Amino acid sequence: MRSSRPQPRSRPAVETVIEAVGGEGDGIAPGPLYAPFTLPGERVRLAPGGDRRDVEQILEPSPERVAPPCPHFGACGGCALQHWDRPAYLAWKVGRLAATLARQHIETEFLPAFAAEPQTRRRVALHARQGRKDAARVGYKARKSWSLVEIDVCPISDPRIQAALPDLKRLAAPLFEHPKSAPTLHVTVTAAGLDVDITGVERKSGGLSADARVQLAETAAAADFARITLDGEIAYQARTPTVRLGPATVGLPPGAFLQAVPQAEAAMAAFVRAQAEGAERIADLYCGVGTFTFRLAEAAPVHAADGAAEAIRALTAAIATAPRLKGITAEARDLVRRPVLAEELKRTDVVVFDPPRAGALEQAHEIARSGAARAIGVSCNPATFARDARTLIDGGFRLSRVLPVDQFLWSPHIELVGVFER
């Protein structure tokens, strides 16, 4: 039976001028038509198709166009904007952030953005597909596709990850015993070596066989990886993966969240610490393993809370590695179902919150009701940050300044730290 759904109408090739770059990094021409890897002001010839077109030819390139540094650019879906000059690209990101806040009728001061450099990403998620018996194919998904683009280099990644690509391909080889397995290798650079958490291995059939686990461990040992986990379960460990967070050394739980770029983490933490200066008591909500907690505790006592119990255990264990702190208390707490109440923040003058992409709506209501003089929001999602900022502003705060943070280099993604004051 033929589908009754209307098929997208194909239109002929067209010459047009790109007017802007959209939220996913594609150029936008009148129509609107969307074309990847194009820049504002460029005259282009677009292939026949619907609203989204391939580019047949760039007829008049923008003066802001540069040569992409990665041989996989254009096929790999990991980067969208390597062809854009860095100052213009960064200005576009900050402009998008300002527009997102403006939709909530919020104006503020934008500080100079932090911009990550190439070869600084310490964590990546590599997809694996079955290849040879002794080596899988490893890389990133293609643009708007489930197909895999196998990579040999990755200019955004820490050189230690790039150097380990052959070993990671061998590591993934025994993961395909079940036809439904589609493994992802979550690779993190730590002080002890690479930490790899593997997800996507079919478990209903009993998971990996004993032989496959032995092969996994032997490959990890030969590559001198620190730890291999399967959905958080340790399959091999030579050393405990650790990171330095300010004055503390933290042992990472399997799959623990870290900021993607250590230099971005350091810049955000220094900014947060400076904005909290003079506080007598600080709350660090959605604290994770203590990205901001330990730096803040050098200045004032901190109460830390997060929904991940394993992160709180790691944070608590690391307190002993930094003996000159002002004091840290920590609790595992679901801040959506059970946000820290305004009454509990009674003696807290600065609240830091760093929620996941969904934002901190429930917690923002309590911060707005509290007597805190300052709130500092860290966000990986400008849209939910703007929503939560409106809650705080309606509760008597003002958003005084924002630090834009570009740590996902050459992607459309922008992060930020915002400072709220009464």
Please return the burial class of 391, using the count of CB atoms within 10 Å of its CB with bins 0-12, 13-18 and 19+.
buried
Q: Is 82 annotated as a binding residue?
A: no
Best CA proximity match to 204, nearest among 177, 235, 227, 232: 177
Q: Is 57 annotated as a binding residue?
A: no
313: part of which helix (H) or strand (E)? helix 309-318
Q: pLDDT tens across 362-416, in order?
A: 999 999 999 999 999 999 999 999 999 999 999 999 999 999 999 999 999 999 9
Q: pLDDT tens across 175-213, in order?
A: 998 888 899 999 999 999 999 999 999 877 777 889 999
pLDDT of residue 143: 83
Q: Is 306 annotated as a binding residue?
A: yes
Enumerate the β-bridge partners of residue 353: 285, 377
The stretch 279-286 carries a mean pLDDT of: 98
Q: Are 94 and 82 in contact (CB under 8 A)?
A: no
Q: Is 354 annotated as a binding residue?
A: yes
Q: Does 287 participate in catalysis according to the annotation?
A: no
- The half-sphere exposure of 304 on its side-chain side, counting CA atoms within 13 A, is 27
* Average pLDDT taken over every residue of the chain: 94
Q: pLDDT tens across 1-42, in order?
A: 444 555 556 788 899 999 999 999 999 999 899 999 999 999
The stretch 207-220 carries a mean pLDDT of: 93
| Set 70, 79, 287, 380: catalytic member | 380
pLDDT of residue 1: 45
Q: pLDDT tens across 323-350, in order?
A: 899 999 999 999 999 999 999 999 999 9
The full set of domains in the chain, from first to last, is 1-65 (2.40.50.140), 91-117+258-421 (3.40.50.150), 123-242 (2.40.50.1070)
Q: pLDDT tens across 232-262, in order?
A: 999 999 999 999 999 999 999 998 999 999 9
